[in-house]
Amino acid sequence: MPHRPNPPSHCRRCGTCCRKGGPALHQADLALLRDKSIHRADLITLRVGEPVHDQVKGQIILLDAECIKIRSQDETGCCFHQPAPARQDIPNGSTTPPQGHCAIHENKPVECAALKCWDTTDLALAAGTPRLSRLEILGKDNAMAELIRDHETHCAVADLLRHLQTPTQKSAEHLRHATTYDAALRDLLQEKAAVPADHLPFLLGRPLSEVIQSLKRWLAMH
């Protein structure tokens, strides 16, 4: 009979969860933004209606509430995950974890603090607490708040899905108009308001062309 390793009972800092992507932020994480442990450039907004993988349910769902996540990078996962250097680059006596480390380990979000790969009970509880929204981070009187509301009016994900489900010439025109509006607003914010490009995923979410492609993939599975 093949040997089966004992399941973990403590965090081994193997980096597996980090490589799967960044966590969602909850209202308890607002302090991390206020003390600059996390910046807007570190965030991405998944908007209402977007397909996402629910870690607790283990399935793809359509978001029923806005979700602010720490952004991910293709190869290393969460943007705060620092991969381990090559063995030959580790100096003698170094305390660098062999599997890499989290750049904000001491100030990590509540989902990360609750995550235990051997028992998801605490993660499920943390995931069920109120999530942060863009307006809570920015403040309702922030100059960007009205732009975000306007973008949601013109580029609502639910409208995109509806037009994809009932393809007509009018639907195609709506999708083209929404995509053009989204791209133009991103350019305008950079050119006229000097908004850094790396803030746009937080302010407006993913480019609409990417959202539409994810909706098409979701529809193909259903």
Q: Which of 7-16, 75-84, 202-211 has the lowest mean pLDDT?
A: 7-16
The residue type found at 35 is: D
Can you point out the beta strands (E) in the chain? 43-46, 51-54, 59-62, 67-70, 72-73, 77-78, 81-82, 101-102
* Residue 35 confidence (pLDDT): 93
Beta-carbon neighbour count of residue 53 at 10 Å? 11
Cα gap 196→26, rounded to integer Å: 24
* Residue 90 confidence (pLDDT): 52
User: How distant is the alpha carbon of residue 176 from its chain centre?
Assistant: 25
Averaged pLDDT, 158-176: 95
Q: Is the pLDDT of residue 184 over 80?
A: yes
pTM of the model: 0.85
* Residue 91 confidence (pLDDT): 54
